[in-house]
């Protein structure tokens, strides 16, 4: 069975993270992704450390399985090649500041008129409309302005950025969803659509409990560290050798937790319901830790896990990469070099589809302009048919 996007060709004009993350996902689902890069320098992340054998691990983790051609979209000869690519593509994706593609003559209205089936995906800091559309943005700007930083960190301390670049990554995920929806719509209508994704919009879209709390109470939530503001107990706890997580998300789980801890407080009015537990969260944490400090994280994870209570160790990335569950799900993959040997490690494809091979290796990330001959040959053959 072919991969679901095996017949889809994507022109990837993106750089750094949000766009490349989206096109990497499309490549994992089988799409042919042709990375159209600036001559000489290419994607900015080619210069991001750390490096191995002169190649960026960051770039390789996000751009494996793609092909590269370097084109100067202001040069007439390269514009001819780009139009040949556009005529064969299903999707074009860009993450320039709004207005750049229009100045080049490749904005949505231009391309839709010339190639009505072409799907146009754009991701930017603030989107293509609104008073701040043309302002620049990076991940931290989106996290700060989008409200995520205001709820991240310890109470009474300065706001902190989420460690993963979710300003970019969430926008990339929404861009992927938009492309898939547009591909489905084109099957019905025969027409392409424009997808306009803003990093700022994407941050707002993931603020679930924060929006609910703010609109219901009139007061925005602050930083609560590892604790969930609306569910208790749902945070980190100390054992004798470190921290671990307990997430007892309802009254039944809390009762099971009390039994496991030999802590008969589930009928105490201060803890009998989730609202009461939230009100008395600090006291409850002290009572639980008076028990958990007597044994190790491994002991409590095993005991609580056996009782069906959601729990977990707090693993660093090196531990995650060796986690048996992660490995069983093929979520750690080898990015190969030109000789088929391991070069880099990357995250696998979290979208598991029946009938699609879930490989544990990926082709190498392309050298800048490294596939020009192959791409031009493919165009020649396609145009000859």
- Choose, from 83, 128, 228, 342, the residue flagged as catalytic: 228
Place of tokens 């494809």: 349
Name 126's bridge partners. none
The answer to whether the CB of 69 falls within 8 A of the CB of 97 is: no
pTM: 0.94
| pLDDT by 10-residue block (mean), the chain, 385 residues | 93 97 98 97 96 96 97 97 98 96 97 98 97 96 98 96 97 98 98 98 96 96 94 98 97 98 96 97 98 98 98 97 98 96 96 95 97 97 92
CA dist 161 and 155 (Å) reads 14
Q: Where are the alpha helices (DSSP H) in the chain?
A: 18-28, 57-63, 76-88, 100-104, 108-114, 139-145, 166-189, 199-205, 208-217, 251-261, 274-279, 281-292, 297-306, 317-320, 324-328, 372-384
Q: For residues 19 and 94, what is the distance between their CA atoms, to the nearest angstrom?
A: 7
8-state DSSP, 44: G
Q: What's 247-306 look like in SS3? A: ECCCHHHHHHHHHHHCCCCCCCCCCCCHHHHHHCHHHHHHHHHHHHCCCCHHHHHHHHHH
Rounded Cα–Cα distance for residues 62 and 27 (Å): 10
Checking DSSP bridges between strand 194-198 and strand 119-124, what pairing results, if any? parallel
The per-residue pLDDT for 385 is: 86
Residue 34 confidence (pLDDT): 98
DSSP state of 364: P
Instruction: Give the angle 48-51-53 at the CA atoms, nearest 5°.
Output: 140
What integer pLDDT is reported at residue 1 of this predicted model?
76
319, with CB counted inside 10 A (0-12, 13-18, 19+), is: exposed
| 377 assigned to active site | no
Q: What are phi and psi of 314, to 5 degrees?
A: -100, 100
Question: Tell me, what's the pLDDT at 42?
Answer: 97
> DSSP of 223-247, one letter per residue?
--TTS-SSSSSEEEEEETTEEEEEE
How confident is the model at residue 190, as a pLDDT?
A: 98
Residue 240, both tokens: 């004798």
Dist. CA 239–CA 67, nearest whole Å:
49
């Amino acid at each position: 069975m072919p991969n679901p996007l095996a017949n889809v060709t994507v022109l990837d004009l993106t750089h750094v993270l949000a766009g490349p993350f989206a096109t990497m996902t499309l490549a994992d689902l089988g799409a042919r992704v042709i990375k159209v890069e600036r001559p000489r320098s290419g994607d900015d992340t080619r210069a991001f450390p750390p490096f191995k054998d002169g190649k960026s691990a960051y770039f390789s983790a996000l751009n494996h399985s793609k092909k590269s051609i370097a084109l100067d979209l202001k040069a007439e000869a390269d514009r001819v090649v780009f139009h040949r690519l556009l005529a064969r593509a299903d999707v074009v994706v860009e993450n320039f500041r709004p207005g750049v593609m229009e100045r080049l003559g490749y904005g949505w209205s231009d391309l839709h008129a010339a190639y009505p089936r072409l799907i146009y995906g754009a991701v930017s800091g603030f989107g293509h409309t609104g008073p701040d559309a043309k302002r620049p943005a990076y991940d931290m700007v989106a996290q700060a302005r989008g409200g995520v930083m205001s709820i991240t960190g310890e109470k009474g301390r300065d706001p902190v950025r989420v460690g993963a670049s979710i300003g970019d990554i969430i926008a990339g995920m929404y861009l992927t969803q938009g492309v898939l929806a547009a591909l489905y719509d084109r099957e019905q209508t025969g027409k392409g659509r424009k997808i306009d994704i803003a990093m700022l919009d994407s941050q707002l879209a993931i603020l679930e409990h924060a929006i609910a709390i703010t609109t219901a109470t009139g007061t925005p939530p602050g930083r609560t560290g590892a604790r969930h503001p609306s569910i208790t107990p749902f945070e980190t706890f100390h054992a004798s050798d470190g921290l671990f997580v307990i997430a007892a998300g309802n009254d039944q789980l809390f009762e099971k937790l009390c039994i496991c801890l030999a802590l008969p407080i589930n009928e105490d009015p201060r803890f009998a319901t989730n609202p009461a537990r939230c009100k008395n969260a600090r006291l409850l944490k002290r009572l639980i830790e008076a028990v958990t400090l007597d044994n190790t994280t491994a002991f409590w994870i095993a005991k609580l896990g056996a009782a069906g209570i959601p729990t977990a160790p707090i693993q660093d990335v090196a531990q995650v990469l060796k986690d048996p569950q992660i490995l069983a799900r093929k979520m750690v993959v080898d990015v190969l070099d030109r000789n088929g040997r391991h070069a880099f490690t990357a995250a696998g494809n979290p979208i598991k589809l029946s009938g699609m091979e879930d490989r544990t290796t990926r082709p190498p990330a392309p050298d800048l302009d490294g596939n020009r001959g192959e791409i031009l040959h493919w165009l020649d053959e396609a145009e000859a048919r």
